[in-house]
């Protein structure tokens, strides 16, 4: 039995809270793509936890968490995150966390290449500068260094020398940048290797055995469908496939193991970095959404661009992910607005536009066709049932269901774990 949780906007939809919520009925929680350019912020009983690589299921004592082969792992960030969780009294042991031996590493030269490339670019993508893109480039070019390589000093050191020499050539000769300082590699010594060694495993086989034993597995995506390298707003995307189809590639389980797919979306829309954003608000309403929704990146702290809900983009994401139910987050952020608008269609050069255009230059020019609905003023953060919501809030949720063709089964009305309405549980449906 398995459930996949994916973002179906431009990321930052609140997947961490939904994963944490569903983990209660899961035995294993798996991250299948991305790197530490993603971040989940969870509030549990008033305490804040921030995750970058480790699945948020680690907050549950009896769960196994897995970092799959599709993730690019910065060992320094990973160990820092482990230490931070330990300080918050969350045990991170090999019995609770496993890392795929086939996952690729992010190394210092990846970060230098990423930052130099972004600063030299004429049109910035909005990368976080964490080295994720260059790490995936090396993976596809077959020169990447994997966790398994790191565990064998002779193999790791030789590959590290070769790759650093190549990176420094690009930095100094092509990018007019400084080479990677030698001391950047000092932490990658025996101590770091031996610390991570007990966590390394053949996670594909681990997941296969878990599913064969009838255990419940929760697959956790990072970023969002509109940032998918194939199906998103290219080139303003991330460097991995963020969609459900990558669960198999990023974990080593067959596609037949995929059960329900929960698409997580906000009651409005945000994105970080460059790229087209048809419903973006540049006015006081956009700022109000940013302030009330605390729309600042968990990884970078960057302010997020805010706008109205975009049903066209979400329908696109629903289709490519095979979404079976929706988890709607931050509905409470809309309270107090006299009216709420939502995009139900696009027009391009005066003509109706079917779906999301493949060219970002065209998507940048579309005019959103919007529908206006009444808002509500009552505080909904204490609501725990569908019936407890104000009429206008229920009407808005029903509008979303009709606009995207998928039922809303979970509604978040606040940042805390308990501030949630569950109409139907995805694991029950699975």
183-227 per-position pLDDT tens digit: 999 999 889 999 999 999 999 999 999 999 999 999 999 999 999
Q: Does 12 participate in catalysis according to the annotation?
A: yes
Measured from the Cβ of residue 398, the count of other Cβ atoms closer than 10 Å reads 11
- Residues of the chain with pLDDT below 50 are none
Q: What is the dihedral of CA 350, 352, 356, 361, to 10 degrees?
A: -10
pLDDT, tens digit (0-9, with 9 covering 90-100), for 267-296: 999 999 889 999 999 999 999 999 999 998
Q: Of 20, 27, 40, 409, which is the active-site residue?
A: 40
| 349 catalytic residue (yes or no) | no
CB 329 within 8 A of CB 264: yes
What is the DSSP track for 170-207?
IIIIIS--PPPPGGGGTTSSHHHHHHHGGGEE-HHHHH
pLDDT at 20: 87
- Give the integer Cα–Cα distance in Å for 93 and 344: 47
Q: pLDDT for 10-52, tens place per residue? A: 999 999 889 989 998 999 999 999 998 776 677 777 788 888 9
The closest of 417, 370, 416, 408 to 389, measured between CA atoms, is 408
DSSP state of 280: B
Cα atoms in the 13 Å half-sphere on the side-chain side of 51:
28
Whole-number pLDDT of residue 297: 73
The pLDDT value recorded for residue 47 is 80
Tell me if 371 sits within 8 A of 342, measured CB to CB.
yes
Which pLDDT score, from 0 to 100, does residue 326 have? Answer: 98
Q: Does the bond joining 235 to the residue before it have cis omega, within 30 degrees of 0?
A: yes
The dihedral sign for the CA sequence 277, 238, 300, 273: negative
């Amino acid at each position: 039995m398995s459930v996949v949780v994916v973002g179906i906007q431009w990321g930052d939809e609140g997947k961490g809270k939904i994963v944490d919520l569903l983990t209660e009925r899961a035995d294993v929680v798996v991250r299948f793509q991305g790197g530490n350019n993603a971040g989940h912020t969870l509030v549990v009983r008033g305490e804040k936890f921030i995750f970058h690589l480790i699945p948020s299921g680690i907050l549950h004592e009896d769960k196994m968490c897995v970092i799959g082969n599709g993730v690019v792992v910065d060992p320094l960030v990973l160990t820092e995150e482990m230490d931070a969780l330990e300080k918050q009294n969350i045990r991170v042991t090999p019995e609770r966390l496993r890392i795929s031996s086939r996952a690729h590493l992010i190394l210092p030269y990846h970060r230098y290449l990423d930052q130099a490339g972004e600063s030299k670019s004429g049109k910035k993508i909005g990368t976080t500068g964490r080295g994720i893109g260059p790490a995936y480039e090396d993976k596809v070019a077959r020169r990447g260094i994997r966790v398994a390589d790191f565990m064998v000093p002779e193999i790791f050191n030789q590959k590290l020398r070769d790759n650093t020499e190549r990176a420094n050539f690009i930095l100094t000769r092509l990018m007019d940048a400084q080479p990677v300082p030698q001391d950047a590699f000092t932490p990658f010594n025996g101590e770091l290797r031996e610390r991570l060694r007990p966590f390394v495993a053949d996670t594909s086989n681990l997941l296969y055995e878990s599913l064969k034993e009838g255990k419940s597995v929760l697959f956790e995506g990072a970023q969002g469908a509109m940032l998918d390298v194939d199906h998103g707003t290219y080139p303003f995307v991330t460097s991995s496939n963020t969609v459900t189809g990558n669960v198999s590639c990023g974990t080593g389980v067959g596609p037949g193991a995929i059960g329900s797919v929960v698409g997580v979306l906000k009651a409005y829309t945000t994105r970080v970095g460059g790229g087209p954003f048809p419903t973006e608000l540049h006015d006081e309403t956009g700022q109000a959404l940013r302030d009330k929704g605390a729309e600042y990146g968990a990884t970078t702290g960057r302010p997020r661009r805010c706008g109205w809900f975009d049903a066209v983009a979400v329908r696109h994401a629903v289709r490519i992910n095979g979404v079976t139910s929706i988890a709607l987050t931050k509905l409470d952020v809309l309270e107090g607005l006299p009216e709420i608008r939502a995009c139900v269609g696009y027009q391009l050069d005066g003509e109706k536009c079917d779906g999301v255009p493949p060219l970002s230059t065209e998507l940048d020019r579309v005019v959103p066709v919007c529908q206006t609905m009444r808002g509500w003023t009552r505080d909904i953060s204490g609501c725990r049932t569908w019936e407890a919501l104000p009429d206008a809030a229920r009407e808005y949720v029903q509008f979303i269901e009709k606009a995207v063709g998928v039922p809303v089964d979970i509604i978040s009305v606040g940042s805390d774990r308990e501030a949630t309405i569950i109409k139907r549980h995805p694991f029950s449906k699975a």
